[in-house]
Structure 1
Amino acid sequence: MSQLLLDIPLQLETERLILRAPRQSGDSSIVNEAIKDSFIELKAWLPFAQKTPTVDETEVNLRIAYINFLKRESLRYLIFRKGTNDFIGIISFEGINWDIPKCHIGYWINTKFSGNGYMLEAVKNLTELGLNQIKFKRIEIKCESTNIKSRSIPEKLGYELEGTLKKDDLSADGNRLTDTCLYAIV
């Protein structure tokens, strides 16, 4: 069966969160504001956050994410807190290989909401969706070895640390080589 025929929900709910796919338009202002609010923290770990994007650049990024969701090339969800509709962050299935099938999960959080277990809750929910409904055989989480907060998420969720890849990637600013921790659940 073609992945385009897979029934992948546009919205998921957890105890405290709503995860939903980007809309065709209209999400860029809140996402852009969160990037600005979290810029210092995001800049340390993420290549996309080396400069503050404009609202229009964020809109283009989200529209591409929406198209990729429909094409099943990547599945991005925006995370909101139930009740308040506060924007928490972004989580996605990336690097999808439908032949295996496998993927990796990427995520970032709006700094003002970190430390509350929201991302742990979102990753747990997405992992369950991937394994139980989409039927991925392997889900990976990759992060820089020194990113302790990011590493704690797969460790708490039972992902296995399969190894640390030495000098595997460039730092977010592109100035030095970094080690990558590779976690997986099968």
Structure 2
Amino acid sequence: MNPLLLDIPLQIETERLILRAPHQSGDGMIVNKAIKNSINELKEWLPFAQRVPAVEETEMNLREAHMKFLKRDSFRFLIFHKNTNDFIGTASLQGIDWDIPKCEIGYWMNTTYTGKGYMTEAVKELINLGLNHIKFKRMEIRCESTNVKSRSIPEKLQFTLEGTLRNDDLSADGCNLTDTCIYSIVS
């Protein structure tokens, strides 16, 4: 089947969260504010967060993500609290290989909302979407070996740690070699 013909929901709900594709004007301002508030934590792990981007840059990034969603190249979701509409973070199905088919899950959080299980809840729903709706045969989470918070999510969700690639990547600031843990779940 051609992936362009797949019906992928633009919005998904969990018990506490709404995950929706970034398609509304003004999403950039909301996401940019979270990056700004969380920059000290994010910059340790994410190359894009080495500086606070301009709101316009974030808005452009989200519009590009929406185009990739429509083209079925990747599926980024903005995560909001269902009751308060507070922005919690993003989670994505990315690095898609439709020939297998497989993908990688990526995520980051607004620091204000860490430690409450929100990202685990969001990723669990993306696993359901990926394995049961899209029919991926493999889903991966890759993260730096020292990123304990990020590693806890696949571990809670019963992914298999397939291995650690030594000296596999550069740190977010580009200054040091880092090890990458690869977790997977298969159908």
How many residue pairs were aligned? 186
Secondary structure at the aligned position of 2:22 is classed as: coil
TM-score by length of 1: 0.99
State the alpha-carbon separation in 2 of the partners of residues 24 and 66 from structure 1: 9
Mapped contact 1:22–1:77 kept (Cα < 8 A)? yes
Question: Is 2:174 the partner of 1:178?
Answer: no
List alignment gaps of at least 5 residues for structure 1: none
State the alpha-carbon separation in 1 of the partners of residues 110 and 38 from structure 2: 6
Letter in 1 for 2:108: W
Mapped contact 1:24–1:66 kept (Cα < 8 A)? no
Letter in 2 for 1:58: T
Identify the residue that residue 67 of structure 2 maps to in structure 1: 67
> How much has 1:24 moved relative to structure 2?
4.8
Question: Is 2:123 the partner of 1:123?
Answer: yes
State the alpha-carbon separation in 2 of the partners of residues 52 and 36 from structure 1: 6
Secondary structure at the aligned position of 2:116 is classed as: coil
Letter in 2 for 1:172: A
Question: Is 2:81 the partner of 1:81?
Answer: yes
Identify the residue that residue 14 of structure 2 maps to in structure 1: 14
1:41-65 deviation per Cα after TM superposition (whole angstroms, max 9, x unaligned):
0000000001110000001100000
Question: Is 2:22 the partner of 1:35?
Answer: no
Runs of 4+ in 1 over 3 A off after TM superposition: none
List alignment gaps of at least 5 residues for structure 2: none
> How much has 1:133 moved relative to structure 2?
0.3
Identify the residue that residue 105 of structure 1 maps to in structure 2: 105
State the alpha-carbon separation in 2 of the partners of residues 148 and 60 from structure 1: 31
Identity of aligned residues (%): 72
RMSD across aligned positions (CA): 0.5
